[in-house]
Amino acid sequence: MQTAEIQRRWLNFFEQRGHTVVPSASLVSDDPSLMFTVAGMVPFVPYLSGLVPAPYPRATSVQKCIRTNDIEEVGKTPRHGTFFQMCGNFSFGDYFKEGAIRFAWELLTTSEEDGGLGFDPADLWVTVYEEDDEALALWKQYSSLPEERIQKLGKDTNYWSTGQPGPAGPCSEIFFDLGPEYGIDGGPATDDDRYVEIWNLVFMQYQIADVNSKTDFTILGELPKKNIDTGMGLERVAFIKQGVQNMYEIDQVRPVLDRAAELAGKTYGENHDDDVRLRVIADHVRSGLMLIADGVTPSNEGRGYILRRLLRRVILSMRLLGVEGASFGELFPASRDSMQSAYPEVASGFDFISRVAYAEEKTFLRTLASGIQILDGAISEAKGGAGSVTGETAFLLHDTHGFPIELSLEIAEEAGVSVDRAVFTQLMQEQRDRAKADAKAKKGQRADLSVYKELRGLGETQFVGYDALNHESRVLGIVVEGAPTSEAREGEIAELVLAETSLWAESGGQDSDQGIIVGEGFEAEVLDVQKPVPGLFVHTVKVTFGSIGIDARAETRVDADYRRGATQAHSATHIVHAALRDVLGPNAHQAGSYNKAGYMRLDFTHSEALSQATKSEIEEISNLAVRSDYEVVTREMGLDEAKSLGAMALFGEKYGDRVRVVDIGGAWSRELCAGTHVSSSAEVGMINLVAESSVGSTNRRVESLVGMEAFQSFAAERAIVQQLSGGLRVPRAEIVAKVEDLSAQLRAAEKKIASLEAARLAEQVPTLLQSAERVGAVQFVAADLGKVGSADDVRGLVIQLREKLGSEPGVVVLAGTVPGDGAGKPLVVAATTASARELGIKAGDLAKRGAQALGGGGGGKPDLAQGGGTDPSQISEALTQIRRLIEG
């Protein structure tokens, strides 16, 4: 049974039993505490927790999920995958244990011919929480399982909670028995891999508090509405129904594995290490495909870092299989073809997906090449010294260049040296400890969203700011320092929830409005407006006069000048986006934006820097659109109708069934957007594109000033031009030529000075050679050159002196002060002859010792090295320390 067919049967089964079919949410979670959607229930958390009233009594979905906490186990076990799909059925105060158990047993054991999944009851086991006699009795009633195949287990396995105060409850898990050839008898209680968990039924019925651990908490009582949250692992059911060994061999994953094996000239099933690598490749390519399809692009932080890590693990795994060149052009199309029947968007968006993936591969292959050069150098040093690559080098390769320790070990082993694994492990642990401490600190800073539960239960905040800047409303709730209260007093920072508001809450790339909230006997300055949970506007204010109480009449007043600037900037974002697509083509998709009064920032998919001519063309098209005074029309309609009209739905954005469509010049710019806009393009005023930069291997960013801010920027530049024209005594049109002429004269003068400085230093060679003295077994030349032009001059002189020493053991160390703050910056340069290095004297060690005396650091190769510091007065001491090191 194909994976897509299992998905279809699941949704049909529950739809026929009164469940609303809810499409999969994005892998990018709405929950601010989560990076990704990590479970099928995540999109339903506001309903399950009671934070937001559920729009339907029961629902079903097949949710896309990403988990990376066990990424190192991928490929090693039959069940660990980063991307997976969770089939879920949910009840929000509707049916409870009886319905959940009855539905689960019916779907699993109904024959395939009758629309079920066709499991043999003889292969199934069930676990229940040891104190949940109700669930045990229901399993006996609705299933044909003998009592010995319904096992009671404790809180550590069969009690669900988020790990935080809130909803919790017992759960019941369903397992498939793979058979005696896979392990010992005894059921799931043995915790043996023979028994595969395929479905978990969570009975959310209690409110808990005082949570100290997974098993140590206080049950406060039953929830007013008991909920059902279940999850069946689609991949797990698929590998069982398809008769394969693991999730990597199912129809949605195996084609990528086979293509990787073919490229590497390997046969799957012949070598354990190769098999693990092939499974990693198959899993991570699919995960990368689905993440990019949901708008994630590679970067060095957050979600983008996770995607980058997955893609790089694919490249490294291919390399360990012997494939050193690019392979994504073969692997990603294989994954697309396997997934498009379930997710058509991976085919329709493949042009974007492939450009992102291929660009990342190209970039990392270059990075990999430079990392291998570092490792090769470390191996050469190891062969000439300690016989092992340092743990610090291995960690640098892992942390900076993305090398897994396995790759360093393999390459080093082939070269006949080892790697200091103990130091590497220690550094990795220190990094993990820092990451945990950082995560804990960030977790402690998050607001407890439960404080808004009752407020959201009163209904959605109605935004009326499209049509009115001032609006009288009513205070529904007040929160001070994270706790609900009945009053906010003068001088306090408080959060206000109103029934309606004209103040825009930050969203869709548009910053929140500025303004005030006033009422009888009070006034408050609005500092921020946010939507911590869907549908709820929370106004952060400073009470500047009087006090505010619950139910008080309150008027929201938007700062008209700020709103005008914000609408100008938001409409300018749409205009620049359309201009970008005009110039660069339809592949230049918006990948993020931010706008506020007078400023807009737009990220877009493109892998190359824009030339000055291209930037000028985009700016010109944008301002021509402003001058054309296009009508800006905003309409509300269904999502499908909007897409049929060609409205752009942007990657990574989430849309409801009803959407707002903003047209500028008709179809010239037509986008889904809930923000506030001008009524005609001329109102934007002026667009001044001030910056263009990279925000990743596949994304660029343009920044523009808008309206009066754009004019003020041009006016400031005009003043600078006038100053230059007067100072240089040339007409404005000749400024560039004059500056270029002066720059050429300056470069010529600097070159002449450098030549004279080099000649001056070269004249000192005979004197310095005569100053050589024997220290131990080597000829030692050392001197303080005083003030020098540059470090390059010192290095050149050091190399000349070393050559003059010939074949005998010799060391040259010169110090000096290069231009810098105050008295300048001290530096020390050391060089050794080949015969000195045979005695174990390394220039890197000498430079490091000297730099330490100067209050800095240094190092380098055994033949030539350099160090620097902050205290020129310690140059004499630095030379003394180097001499002592040689003596030793």
Whole-number pLDDT of residue 442 = 42
The rounded distance, in Å, linking the Cα atoms of 170 and 150 is 15
Contact (CB, 8 A) for 849 and 885: yes
**Nearest C-alpha neighbor of 660 from the set 643, 635, 638, 641:** 635
Residue 699's φ and ψ, nearest 5 degrees, are -125, 140
* pLDDT (mean) for 647-670: 79
| Confidence class for position 680, pLDDT limits 50, 70, 90 | very high
Instruction: Please check the confidence at residue 406 and state whether its pLDDT lies above 80.
Output: no
**Model confidence pLDDT, tens digit, residues 534-588:** 889 999 999 999 999 999 999 999 999 999 999 999 999 999 999 999 999 888 8
Whole-number pLDDT of residue 703 = 96
Instruction: Please check the confidence at residue 147 and state whether its pLDDT lies above 60.
Output: yes
Q: To the nearest whole percent, how much of the chain has pLDDT over 90?
A: 59
Compute CA 447 distance to the chain's CA centroid, rounded to the nearest angstrom.
21
The rounded distance, in Å, linking the Cα atoms of 294 and 239 is 26
For tokens 């030379």, the residue is 879
Known binding residue 570? Answer is yes
Whole-number pLDDT of residue 581 = 93
**Model confidence pLDDT, tens digit, residues 31-41:** 767 889 999 99
Whole-number pLDDT of residue 364 = 85
* pLDDT (mean) for 719-729: 91
The rounded distance, in Å, linking the Cα atoms of 780 and 773 is 5
For tokens 């990693």, the residue is 280
Whole-number pLDDT of residue 251 = 95
The rounded distance, in Å, linking the Cα atoms of 273 and 550 is 65
Counted residue by residue, the chain has a size of 888
Both tokens assigned to 434: 């820092």
Question: Quick one: CA torsion of 649, 651, 657, 662, rounded to 10 degrees?
Answer: -30
Which residues, other chains included, contact 762 with Cβ-Cβ below 8 Å and sequence gap of 6+?
797, 800
This prediction's pTM? 0.68
**Model confidence pLDDT, tens digit, residues 585-617:** 888 888 889 999 999 999 998 878 999 999 999
Q: Averaging pLDDT over each range in 282-291, 400-409, 580-589, which range is the top one?
A: 282-291
Both tokens assigned to 703: 């920044």
The rounded distance, in Å, linking the Cα atoms of 449 and 34 is 13
Whole-number pLDDT of residue 449 = 67
Report, in angstroms and rounded to the nearest whole number, the Rg of the chain calculated over CA atoms: 34
Residue 331's φ and ψ, nearest 5 degrees, are -80, -45
Q: If 0-12 CB within 10 Å is exposed, 13-18 middle and 19+ buried, where does residue 546 land?
A: middle
The rounded distance, in Å, linking the Cα atoms of 502 and 270 is 67
Q: Give the burial string for 594-604 (b: 16+ CB within 10 Å, else e).
A: bbbbbbbbbbb
Sign of CA dihedral 551, 553, 554, 555: positive
| Confidence class for position 447, pLDDT limits 50, 70, 90 | very low
Known binding residue 677? Answer is yes
The rounded distance, in Å, linking the Cα atoms of 633 and 661 is 8
The rounded distance, in Å, linking the Cα atoms of 802 and 832 is 7
Whole-number pLDDT of residue 49 = 79
Q: What is the mean pLDDT of the chain?
A: 89
**Nearest C-alpha neighbor of 129 from the set 39, 235, 241, 205:** 205
Both tokens assigned to 40: 């099928």
Known binding residue 577? Answer is no
SS3 state at 687: strand
The rounded distance, in Å, linking the Cα atoms of 17 and 11 is 10
Whole-number pLDDT of residue 763 = 80
Whole-number pLDDT of residue 631 = 96
Compute CA 847 distance to the chain's CA centroid, rounded to the nearest angstrom.
40
In 9-102, beta strands by DSSP E: 20-21, 58-66, 83-92
**Model confidence pLDDT, tens digit, residues 238-270:** 999 999 989 999 999 999 999 999 999 999 999
Sign of CA dihedral 707, 712, 715, 717: negative
- 63 DSSP β-pair partners: 86
Q: Averaging pLDDT over each range in 45-49, 281-285, 847-851, which range is the top one?
A: 281-285
| Confidence class for position 370, pLDDT limits 50, 70, 90 | confident
For tokens 């609005």, the residue is 526
- Ramachandran assignment for 387, one of left (phi > 0), alpha (psi -120 to 50 degrees), beta (any other): left
Instruction: Please check the confidence at residue 169 and state whether its pLDDT lies above 70.
Output: yes
Whole-number pLDDT of residue 193 = 87
Instruction: Please check the confidence at residue 448 and state whether its pLDDT lies above 80.
Output: no
Please count the CA atoms within 13 angstroms of the CA of 265 that sit on its side-chain side. 5
Whole-number pLDDT of residue 387 = 76
State the helix-helix crossing angle for 350-384 and 328-339, rounded to 10 degrees. 140
* pLDDT (mean) for 447-457: 71
Whole-number pLDDT of residue 73 = 82
**Model confidence pLDDT, tens digit, residues 494-544:** 999 999 999 999 998 999 999 999 999 999 999 999 998 888 999 999 999
Which residues, other chains included, contact 404 with Cβ-Cβ below 8 Å and sequence gap of 6+?
313, 316, 398
The rounded distance, in Å, linking the Cα atoms of 592 and 508 is 9
Residue 414 is inside which H or E element, if any? helix 405-414
The rounded distance, in Å, linking the Cα atoms of 13 and 199 is 16
Whole-number pLDDT of residue 652 = 47
The rounded distance, in Å, linking the Cα atoms of 356 and 26 is 18
Residue 492's φ and ψ, nearest 5 degrees, are -85, 150
Whole-number pLDDT of residue 437 = 65
Whole-number pLDDT of residue 27 = 93
Residue 604's φ and ψ, nearest 5 degrees, are -145, 155
Whole-number pLDDT of residue 398 = 79
Instruction: Please check the confidence at residue 190 and state whether its pLDDT lies above 70.
Output: yes
Both tokens assigned to 632: 């800006």
* pLDDT (mean) for 90-100: 95
* Helix residue ranges per DSSP H, 161-253: 234-241
Instruction: Please check the confidence at residue 212 and state whether its pLDDT lies above 50.
Output: yes
**Model confidence pLDDT, tens digit, residues 740-779:** 999 999 989 878 887 787 777 778 888 888 888 998 888 9
User: Which CA distances in Å does 258 have to 247, 279, 334?
Assistant: 14, 10, 9
Instruction: Please check the confidence at residue 404 and state whether its pLDDT lies above 70.
Output: no
Whole-number pLDDT of residue 443 = 42
Which residues, other chains included, contact 675 with Cβ-Cβ below 8 Å and sequence gap of 6+?
504, 507, 508, 509, 510, 570, 662
**Model confidence pLDDT, tens digit, residues 377-401:** 888 888 777 678 888 888 888 777 6
- 814 DSSP β-pair partners: 783, 829
Instruction: Please check the confidence at residue 350 and state whether its pLDDT lies above 80.
Output: yes
Both tokens assigned to 657: 């069934």
The rounded distance, in Å, linking the Cα atoms of 425 and 634 is 58
Q: To the nearest whole percent, how much of the chain has pLDDT over 70?
A: 96
**Model confidence pLDDT, tens digit, residues 808-837:** 899 999 999 988 777 789 999 999 999 999
Higher-confidence residue: 647 or 283? 283
